[in-house]
Amino acid sequence: MAQEPPAQDQMHYEAMAQEALRGVVKAALKRAASPEGLPGAHHFYVTFKTDAPGVSGPVDLLSKYPDEMTIVLQHQYWDLAPGETFFSVTLKFGGQPKRVSVPYAAVSRFYDPSVQFLLQFEAATNGAAPVASDGAEVGPTVTPVSEPPADPAEKVISLDQFRKK
């Protein structure tokens, strides 16, 4: 007996789930941008595809990270502005303040190490939904972690050298 192929997901549930989970990122950034700021020990590592459509920032900075870049929102960030489709923030790089704007669709990882909360997304660089090898759209994963992501220092820009001691 021939098996029928699985039904085509014409509702695009994976894309809807990814968009909903990106809403968690947006809500967390809105809370961080509020006058109260980040509560307790919360802080964020936000990794994004630097070549994704809509990512903007100084050319010299983005060219250092041609694929992905991780920024840390903890003690020294300014003018965090989470919008409906992207966020902007000013950080210091090499002692100089630089502003970056990142569409939520470009975010590939959001991590709050204070509570071991991690969201990972398959961020598309060409604006299309990511597709798995079997042709299905790839959705996000929510991963409870007990350890930080594998060697985050490789992609994290440390601001410690710029802090006053």
* pTM, to two decimals: 0.72
**Percent of the chain whose pLDDT exceeds 90:** 57
pLDDT number for residue 70 = 95
pLDDT in tens, 55-103: 999 999 999 999 999 999 998 899 999 999 999 999 998 889 999 999 9
Q: Write down the domain spans for the chain.
A: 13-33+41-162
- At 13-36, the pLDDT tens digits run 988 998 999 999 999 999 999 999
**CA dihedral for 19, 20, 25, 29, sign (positive or negative):** positive
Q: Which residues pair with 101 in a beta bridge?
A: 56, 88
- What is 13-33+41-162's CATH superfamily? SspB-like (2.30.30.220)
According to the model, what pLDDT value does residue 146 have?
A: 37
Q: 109-164: per-residue pLDDT in tens?
A: 999 999 999 999 876 555 444 433 334 444 443 333 334 444 444 444 445 544 55
* Nearest Cα residue to 139 out of 44, 16, 55, 47: 16
